[in-house]
Structure 1
Amino acid sequence: MLSFVKKISKFIQRLRIKQVDSFVSKKHDLKLMRRVHQKKLPHVKQLFHVGHVLSSRERRIFRLSFLVLFIGLIWYGVEFVANNRIPVPARGGKYVEAVVGSPQLINPVFASSNDVDMDITRLVFSGLLRYNEKNGLIKDLAASYEVSVDKKVYTFELRKDVIWHDGEPLTARDILFTFDTIQNILVGSPLAVSFQGVKVSALDDYTVRFELAEPFAPFLSSLTVGILPEHVWYNVAPEQMRLAQMNIEPVGSGPFQFKRLSKDGTGHIFTYELSRFEKFYSEVAFLQDFVFQFYPEYENDTGAVQALRAQKVTGLNFVPKNLRDRVDRKHIVLHTMQLPQYSALFFNQSRNEILKNAEVREALTYAIDKDRVLREAVKGEGKVINSPVLPGFPGYNVDLEKIQFSLDKANEVLDKNWPRISGDEYKKLRRENLIKEWETGNPELAKVTSTPANTATGTENNLANSTSTPRSLAEVEIDKKLDEEFNNAQTFYRKDKSGKILVLDLVTSDNEESKWAAELVAGFWQEIGVKTNLKFVAPRDILRDVLKNHEYDVLLYGVIIGNDPDQYAFWHSSQIDYPGLNLSRYVNRNADALLTKIRETTDETQLADLYKKMQETILADRPAIFLYIPTYTYATTDQIKGVDVTNISHPSDRLNDVNTWYMKTKGEWKW
């Protein structure tokens, strides 16, 4: 090693000597060079000539040392970057969510009746207030607001930097137009009940005032409804609003704007695309596009679940309990939370006289094994309830008297006035009733005792027809219907003193959870002699075909209470007709008075007492059987980051923090 150093030293001295004029001595040259350069170490350029004085072995050592140094520098650089640069969200990316259902009215005035409409509306429109990822109420279009001491006047100052997706400014006129529309009876908005008797006025272009006839504690939560642009809608007649094209291609002020939609040959929308609104007044979203991909069902090879498993979509808006195992995969993240929602069996006493009998409603309640329904229909993911007042809400009573499941008790109640009959007796009575119904509906045909022979042909079929009467042909069809509806598993039936058979039509949504629960309920009631006909309706048709005209004896349905514990819309007698949501068409003046008083009360102790009295009144009348509160689960792939919602009041609340969702990242220095 010593020789190696000496050689390098000699070589460097020779190089330095060569750079000085030849007439000076070497020793003097060296001194002169040092004096000029003021350093003893070699210049970088000189290092390139080291190979001339090194042996082959020394050159290998030198190269290896240089390689180690180079690798060390790279390693240090990587470590430095890793320790001082962090990944942060970047703009871009397309999120595609699988949804079972379809959009109908993407308009905040109507959207509360359809979950798909609520989802899209939440992204396209903005309200005066909104809920954040913790489900806390915060300002949105409002820059500030004040509430009067008597809790009757709410004054809002609007932000002045808000524009619609078409570039027009948002002003107080849009606020007035929206609430005038909601209150207009010709429009038929399901939100009308929340703004009855509310006077809305504009003090200037950016100041709005709401005046209530009486204090209404949860009024602020009503102001999360999306605002409509007056300049887009002012030419549309109120009664024509549901038919307008703007309900499908909306103009809003939210973080995403309408981009395009795709329809199949039947006109059904199968893809609905939104794009980021770059001029959004608040935090602009990271995602470039938000796409809804619609599917007819969850299961099967063409269903929503398989699309998520195959990574054809990036998320699934709802994970059915019975399919959770199929969705739970390595690249999929499940988000589960409790909803302020309950599922119940609502009795429509105005459609079926049998349900007006209190003993019948009592027996039907005794016959339901709620624990089994929860365990089998929703895989135990929820909680059994016995009242419309949910845990955590004012007036909730954990010690509320419960009706215990007992088939013996249910049969004991019914045996008093509804004697049991055998299956053969049921078929005989049912046949007689169906024939009477036919005769009533076809009085002229019922009188015909023979049919003229058809002489045009001599076929056996024509010969049979020539000897048949309309009545005999009807009886053949009735017998076929009886064979189809008769259930061999039901050992007995019931009839009243007039011979009327105890039969109920149970209607619910055509999804796995609801169907499973309905089949369990029908099985329980079968055990007490109640014939139960099941009807499953596509989710997108529930509003039009069922709720609007109350086409059911019993409805199995999920009611979303939301953040506001107020249940006026569900139990007040003024809400029995569409668009009201009094699904049992329940009428009780004492309950009405309590529900009205609840809306006027701000004192928490008094409020809790009123809710206790309200639930006691409702439970005494048994207009419904309260079953369970479910959990809500949706799924995203691990490509999606920034999802941080922990509390929701409605499925669409999962989108409360959508502005922070991201798929792409970039590096950023810590300092």
Structure 2
Amino acid sequence: MRPNLRWQLLLATIGFGLVLAILSFQVQSVALCTVTVPTTGGSFIEGVVGAPNTLNPLFSDAYPVDRELVDLIFDGLTRFDASGELIPVLAERWTVSEDGRSVRFILREGITWHDGQPVTANDIAFTYGLMQDATFPGAAALQTLWQTVTINVIDARTVDFVLTSPYAPFLEVTTRGILPAHILQGETAVSLLTHPFNQSPIGTGPFMVDAGQDWRQTGRLVLNPNPDFFQQGTQLAHLEYRFFPDETSLMDAFANGDVQAINHISADTLPEVAAEPHARLFTATEDRVTMLLFNQRQDGENKLQPASMRQALAFGLDRQAVLDQVLNGQGVLLEGPYLPNSWMYQKTAYTPYSNQPDQAILWLEENGWLVPEGQVMRWREGDPLSIRLAALQQDEGLVTAVVDQWATLGIDVQVNLQSNLTELQQTLTAGEFDAAIVDVVPALDPDLYDFWSQEAIVRGQNYGGWNNRRASEALEAARQLWRLEERRPFYESFLRFYDAELPALTLYQHVNTYALSSEVNLAEIGRIERPRDRYQTFAQWFLLYKDVTVRCPAENAGIDS
């Protein structure tokens, strides 16, 4: 038995050695490689011309930088989606009473402020209650509206708004950002205007203000991703806004790599930015249009009556040429009074008034405005066709383009440029114009009562005095109905009168061009409806890499497969 045992031990030893040899060969054959992978950290820096005044949704309307930052920090009860319809945000849902005079909002469960405190109906009542204050220093139209609304808190998640009469456009005001009552309770609208909260606000939005910074002194504002919004985390630690006094200094910072993005590129500087090899450009339409407003008030002889005279001026403009000449093509031709993302926008409902000079001349001649032999200007019964055009000085290039095109039709234009918006508004209110170039930010809700109703001639913004009873009645009826399908026929009726009588000509919709450095990886930007939409994919953006050791692929390890 002993010899057999020796043979078994010998065979076992040999087998064990072979196994070790094979394993040793395999280990020695595994090659290790160093690869570069994304890592967390770093700040994404966006440059913007100008600085915010106050980071408060109640006071941000007049300041573009304020509006953008407020949109990142705060949420409203609702917001508009890409099709112009309201969807819930802080709200879970809302209902309208049978008589149309009461709207009940139910808040989502579990929503919290950036400091972790729960959002309740008290926050909603507190925020809107501030705008009811007789001393509210914000937009007067907001105060006027909210003073007609009774706010009732039902429970922690339920709030009722009771209106004096049915008013469907009311829902649009619920898009405004909500303030935290647990921090600001007891403040008045006036005291809030200068409150330290406006320096380091607490909101519910996708980004939080980094505590302890003085952006007024440093010229930069650091925001941190809200973990409740970016639940899977982010690669970038911070989003930083850096404020510059002018476009030149901002362009230099982008060229030098001191900022990774430019918030807004003007038409003048677009070629310079586009020439930067690391620049990626993204363009999105803004909720802002430039219009040519016609004065129809009957103060003496009105040279823009009848409607065919206004149509002649419209047909006599090549709007695309104006865009190319003045804005380097940075705009979108638009027909009618509604934005394309409004649920009432109907492109086919409007006459395409643009670049039909033969039609323009026909209308002018049919109205008796002729060019005497040997002259270039039009006359009628001894009077020249001369119109007064009002505009802001900043739009001088646009004014020049319009004047030059109308001159080819034999129209003399007397230009009145105003240095600021207040002066222009005074000119419009006094009716001291025949045509005016104005910028308008249309609401996505199609209610245009305050712009085009008969009542708005006296108590509104119907500066041109368009006086059409049936159009006004359609607007009045539509605003008292809550269901979109019930409102639509009235707005369709209004549009027919608007298109036929042309109280204003929309020249173009503005676009915003945004520059992003190629240094920012995996940064994809889709459709932009509001400023925060630029950061829809922010979670995957990254700037930094790190080296890690991994097993090399078989072909790199020299192993035959």
Do the structures match in fold with TM over 0.5? yes
Aligned match of 1:107: 56
Structure 1 residue corresponding to 2:30, chosen from 65, 73, 84? 73
Distance apart, 1:520 and its partner CA: 0.8
Structure 2 residue corresponding to 1:94, chosen from 43, 49, 55? 43
Aligned match of 2:508: 628
Distance apart, 1:136 and its partner CA: 7.5
* TM-align CA RMSD: 4.9
- Relative to structure 1, is the Cα distance of residues 327 and 134 closer, same or farther in structure 2, using a 3 angstrom cutoff? farther
Distance apart, 1:175 and its partner CA: 0.4
Tell me the amino acid that sits aligned with residue 93 of structure 1.
G
Tell me the amino acid that sits aligned with residue 175 of structure 1.
I
**Match status 1:531 vs 2:414:** yes
Cα deviations across residues 212-247 of structure 1 (Å, max 9, x unaligned)? 455555655542210022354444443565455544
Inter-partner Cα distance in structure 2 for 1:184 and 1:418: 59
- Relative to structure 1, is the Cα distance of residues 340 and 254 closer, same or farther in structure 2, using a 3 angstrom cutoff? closer
Distance apart, 1:121 and its partner CA: 0.5
Aligned match of 1:612: 492
Structure 2 residue corresponding to 1:522, chosen from 395, 403, 410? 403
Inter-partner Cα distance in structure 2 for 1:620 and 1:46: 90
Inter-partner Cα distance in structure 2 for 1:419 and 1:229: 70
Aligned match of 1:400: 350
**Match status 1:657 vs 2:530:** no
Query: What is the count of residue pairs matched by the alignment?
Result: 530
Aligned match of 2:290: 343
- Relative to structure 1, is the Cα distance of residues 216 and 656 closer, same or farther in structure 2, using a 3 angstrom cutoff? farther
Inter-partner Cα distance in structure 2 for 1:363 and 1:420: 21
Task: Report the TM-score, using the length of structure 2 for normalisation.
Answer: 0.74
More deviation in 547-556 or 629-638? 547-556
Cα deviations across residues 604-623 of structure 1 (Å, max 9, x unaligned)? 55533322322333345543
Aligned match of 1:315: 261
Aligned match of 2:391: 506
Inter-partner Cα distance in structure 2 for 1:412 and 1:520: 23
Which secondary structure does the structure 2 equivalent of 1:530 belong to? Answer: strand
Counting helix residues as a fraction of each chain, which structure ranks higher? 1
Which secondary structure does the structure 1 equivalent of 2:105 belong to? Answer: strand
Report the identity percentage.
Answer: 24
Q: How does 1:235-250 map to 2 (within 5 A)?
A: 235-239=186-190, 242=193, 244=195, 246-250=197-201
Inter-partner Cα distance in structure 1 for 2:261 and 2:99: 46
Contact 1:284–1:659 (Cα < 8 Å) also in 2: no
Inter-partner Cα distance in structure 2 for 1:362 and 1:133: 32
**Match status 1:561 vs 2:442:** yes
Inter-partner Cα distance in structure 1 for 2:336 and 2:167: 23
Task: Report the TM-score, using the length of structure 1 for normalisation.
Answer: 0.64
More deviation in 280-289 or 219-228? 280-289
Inter-partner Cα distance in structure 1 for 2:202 and 2:23: 70
Aligned match of 1:39: 15
Distance apart, 1:160 and its partner CA: 5.5
Which secondary structure does the structure 1 equivalent of 2:348 belong to? Answer: coil
Tell me the amino acid that sits aligned with residue 396 of structure 1.
Q
Contact 1:645–1:656 (Cα < 8 Å) also in 2: yes
Distance apart, 1:185 and its partner CA: 5.3
Tell me the amino acid that sits aligned with residue 595 of structure 1.
L
Inter-partner Cα distance in structure 2 for 1:247 and 1:604: 37
**Match status 1:334 vs 2:281:** yes
Cα deviations across residues 358-387 of structure 1 (Å, max 9, x unaligned)? 367566445432232233334445543342
Contact 2:304–2:310 (Cα < 8 Å) also in 1: yes
Cα deviations across residues 508-531 of structure 1 (Å, max 9, x unaligned)? 6x4xxx554333123234551112
Q: How does 1:199-598 map to 2 (within 5 A)?
A: 199-212=150-163, 220-239=171-190, 242=193, 244=195, 246-259=197-210, 260-263=213-216, 271-276=219-224, 280=228, 283=231, 286=234, 287-298=236-247, 300=248, 302=249, 304-321=250-267, 323-328=269-274, 329-339=276-286, 341-347=288-294, 358=305, 364-380=313-329, 382-391=331-340, 393-394=343-344, 396=346, 398=348, 400-403=350-353, 405-406=356-357, 408=361, 412=365, 502-507=387-392, 510=394, 514-527=395-408, 528-535=411-418, 542=421, 546=424, 553=433, 555-561=436-442, 563-572=444-453, 584=464, 589-598=469-478
Larger radius of gyration: 1
- Relative to structure 1, is the Cα distance of residues 249 and 395 closer, same or farther in structure 2, using a 3 angstrom cutoff? closer
- Relative to structure 1, is the Cα distance of residues 46 and 221 closer, same or farther in structure 2, using a 3 angstrom cutoff? closer
**Match status 1:178 vs 2:127:** yes
Tell me the amino acid that sits aligned with residue 204 of structure 2.
S
Distance apart, 1:119 and its partner CA: 0.5
Which secondary structure does the structure 1 equivalent of 2:488 belong to? Answer: helix
Contact 1:331–1:638 (Cα < 8 Å) also in 2: yes
